[in-house]
Chains A and B, each alone.
Chain A
Amino acid sequence: MSIMQSEDKSRTRKSKKTLQTAREAGYLGKKVLEKAIRAREEGRPVAWSMFLWYHDLIAKALGVEVIFPENYGAFCASVRKAEPYLERSDADGFPSSICGYARTVIGYTSMLAGNNMVAPPGAPGGGMPKPTVFLARAAACDTGSKWFQALGRYMDVPVWLLELPHTGVKEFYLPGNKELNIQFVKDELKKFVFFLENLLGTKMDWDRLREMVDQTLKTLRLAYEVDLLRRAIPSPMISQDFWAILIAHLYMPEDPEATKFYKRVYDEVKYRVDNGIGAIPNERYRMMFAELPPWHSLGIFDDLADKFGIAMVMESWGYHVISPIPEEEIENIKDPLEIIARMSYRMWSQHNDSALAYGAGPAYFMASYLRWAKEYKVDGFFGHPLMTCRAATYTLLYIKDLLVEKLKVPGVIVEGDIVDLRVFNEEEAFSKMEAFLEIMDHYRGIRKKEGLNW
Chain B
Amino acid sequence: MYPENNKQGLTKAKEIYKNRSRRARELKKEGKKIFGYFCCYPPVELMTALDIVPIRIMGDMDEPITVADGYLPTVMCCFYRSCLDIGLKGRYDYCDGFVGSHGCDAAERTTHIWENYIKTPCSFYLDIPHTSHSGPVKFFQEQINYFKETIETFVGKKISTLRLKEAISLHNKQRSLVRNLYDLRKPDPPLITASEVLQVLVSIMVIPVSEGNRLIEEVIEEVKMRENRPDSKPGRVLIWGALIDNTALTELMEDAGLHAVIDDTGIGTRPFWHDIEENDDPLSAIATHYLKEIKCPRTIVETGTTYQNDLENRFGYLKNFAREWNVNGVIANIIRNCDIHGYEVPAVKDYLEPMGFPVLVFEQNYTTSGLETLRTRFQAFAERVSS
Contacts and interface: CB of A to CB of B under 8 A. Distances in A.
Contacts of A393: 73, 75-76
Interface in A370-425: 385-388, 390-391, 393-398, 401-402, 413, 415
A252 to B, nearest CB: 26
Given A150-B344, A180-B142, 16 more contacts: A94-B343, A95-B342, A153-B307, A153-B350, A163-B136, A165-B139, A167-B127, A168-B112, A177-B146, A360-B112, A366-B112, A385-B73, A387-B75, A394-B76, A396-B73, A402-B116
B135 A138 contact: no
Interface stretch (A140-148, A242-250, A320-328, A442-450): A140-148
25 contacts: A93-B346, A98-B342, A142-B105, A142-B340, A143-B339, A146-B340, A149-B300, A150-B343, A152-B347, A156-B306, A158-B303, A163-B136, A165-B129, A168-B100, A168-B111, A170-B125, A360-B116, A362-B109, A385-B73, A393-B76, A395-B113, A397-B72, A398-B113, A401-B70, A415-B73
A159 B146 contact: no
Contacts of A387: 75
Interface string B78-109: 00000000000000000000001010111011
Contacts of B305: 156, 158
Nearest to B341: A95
Contacts of A163: 129-131, 135-136, 139
B104 A161 contact: no
Given A184-B139, A401-B70, A138 B131 contact: yes
What are the 10 closest A-B residue pairs judged by CB atoms, nearest first? A168-B125, A394-B109, A138-B130, A146-B343, A95-B342, A385-B73, A93-B346, A184-B139, A142-B339, A362-B112
Interface in A168-207: 168, 170-171, 174, 177, 180-181, 184, 187-188, 191
Nearest to B149: A174
Contact of A152 (B297, B310, B345): B310
B112 A361 contact: yes
Nearest to B103: A142
B306 A171 contact: no
Contacts of B342: 94-95, 97-98
A168 B116 CA distance: 12
A187 B106 CA distance: 28
Nearest to B348: A93
B199 to A, nearest CB: 29
A441 interface: no
A147 B339 CA distance: 10
B106 A390 contact: yes
B328 interface: no
B57 interface: no
A208 interface: no
Interface string B266-306: 00000000000000000000000000000001101001011
Contacts of A394: 72-73, 76, 105-106, 109-110, 113
Contacts of A94: 342-343, 345-346
A166 interface: yes
Contacts of A111: none
Interface string B342-369: 1111110110000000000101000000
A188 B344 CA distance: 25
Contacts of B102: 166
Contact of A161 (B100, B130, B343, B350): B130
B314 to A, nearest CB: 8
Contacts of B136: 163, 184, 188
Nearest to A413: B73
Contacts of A402: 116
Q: Which of B113, B142, B334, B343 has the most CB of A within 10 A?
A: B343
Contacts of A360: 112, 116
Nearest to B129: A163
Interface in B118-168: 123-125, 127, 129-131, 133, 135-136, 139, 142-143, 146, 149-150
A395 B108 CA distance: 11
Interface of A: 92-95, 97-99, 102, 136, 138, 141-143, 145-147, 149-150, 152-153, 156, 158-159, 161, 163, 165-168, 170-171, 174, 177, 180-181, 184, 187-188, 191, 359-362, 365-366, 385-388, 390-391, 393-398, 401-402, 413, 415
Contacts of B73: 385, 393-394, 396-397, 413, 415
A166 B115 CA distance: 16
A150 B346 contact: yes
Nearest to B363: A95
Contacts of B194: none
A152 B303 contact: yes
B336 interface: yes
A92 B350 CA distance: 11
A161 B131 CA distance: 8
Contacts of A396: 73
B112 A142 contact: no
Contacts of B344: 146, 150
A359 to B, nearest CB: 8
Contacts of A191: 133, 135
B317 interface: no
Contacts of B116: 359-361, 398, 402
Nearest to B135: A187
Interface string B11-30: 00000000000000000000
A24 to B, nearest CB: 36
B265 interface: no
A307 to B, nearest CB: 27
Contacts of B336: 97
B75 A165 contact: no
A168 to B, nearest CB: 3
A93 B352 CA distance: 15
Given A161-B300, A394-B110, A397-B70, A92 B346 contact: yes
B337 A97 contact: yes
Contacts of B111: 168
B77 interface: yes
A395 B343 contact: no
B303 A95 contact: no
B135 A391 contact: no
Contacts of A397: 70-73
Nearest to A95: B342
Given A142-B298, A142-B340, A191-B135, A153 B347 contact: yes
Contacts of A92: 346
A146 B297 contact: yes
Interface string B49-68: 00000000000000000000
A156 B303 CA distance: 9
Given A165-B129, A171-B125, A390 B339 contact: yes
A188 B135 contact: yes
B71 A398 contact: yes
B306 to A, nearest CB: 5
A93 B298 CA distance: 19
Contact of B112 (A136, A153, A395): A395
Given A152-B310, A386-B75, A171 B146 contact: yes
A150 B347 contact: yes
A152 B109 CA distance: 28
A450 B363 CA distance: 48
Contact of B77 (A98, A177, A188, A390): A390
Contacts of A166: 102, 108, 127
